[in-house]
């Protein structure tokens, strides 16, 4: 059985989380807050949106792109607002699915629905 390849967006999230764990003594409260903010934003960006950002930056090497995008997202209000709205919508839908269908709505399924809705227009 073939293992599913992890998206670059999820790899980016994992790297930020590993950085937080490995560097916890060496980072300031402000840096910690900034990295957590980026993890939250990346959690509600679709894979297609993430790929488009990669194309815009035009970086072939992942490490440089991860660093550039992380720095950008720390100060970007647009993506912060978009992903906050998505997080709120997701929580409402998740609760609705649980109450009406007795099912859990996984975040990846929610992002897939956004992706198919947004990019089929």
Cβ neighbours of residue 38 under 8 Å, at least 6 residues apart? 16, 70, 73, 74
Pick the most confident of 39-43, 57-61, 108-112, 114-118: 39-43
* pLDDT score of 1: 46
Indicate whether 114 belongs to any domain.
yes
Indicate whether 31 belongs to any domain.
yes
Indicate whether 1 belongs to any domain.
no
pLDDT digits (tens, 9 = 90+) for 24-41: 788 888 988 999 999 999
Total number of domains constituting the chain: 1
The CA distance from 41 to 5, in Å, is 21
User: With b meaning 16 or more CB within 10 Å and e meaning fewer, what string describes 68-98?
Assistant: ebbeebbeeeebbeebeebbeebeeebeebe
Residue of 8, 80, 95, 15 lying closest to 41 (CA atoms): 80
Q: What is the pTM of this model?
A: 0.84
Cβ neighbours of residue 44 under 8 Å, at least 6 residues apart? 82, 83, 86, 87, 90, 107, 111
* pLDDT score of 118: 61
Indicate whether 2 belongs to any domain.
no
Indicate whether 78 belongs to any domain.
yes
Q: Looking at residues 84-93, what average pLDDT do you find?
A: 95
| DSSP state for residue 104 in the 8-state scheme | -
Indicate whether 48 belongs to any domain.
yes
| Structural domain that includes position 101 | 8-119
């Amino acid at each position: 059985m073939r293992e599913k390849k992890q998206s670059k967006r999820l790899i980016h999230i994992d790297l930020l989380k590993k950085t937080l764990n490995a560097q916890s003594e060496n980072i300031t409260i402000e840096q910690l807050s900034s990295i957590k903010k980026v993890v939250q934003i990346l959690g509600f960006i679709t894979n297609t949106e993430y790929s488009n950002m990669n194309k815009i930056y035009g970086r072939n090497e992942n490490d440089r792109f991860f660093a550039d995008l992380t720095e950008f997202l720390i100060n970007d209000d647009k993506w912060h607002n978009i992903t906050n709205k998505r997080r709120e919508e997701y929580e409402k839908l998740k609760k609705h699915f649980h109450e009406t269908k007795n099912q859990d709505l996984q975040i990846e399924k929610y992002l897939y629905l956004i992706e198919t809705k947004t990019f089929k227009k």
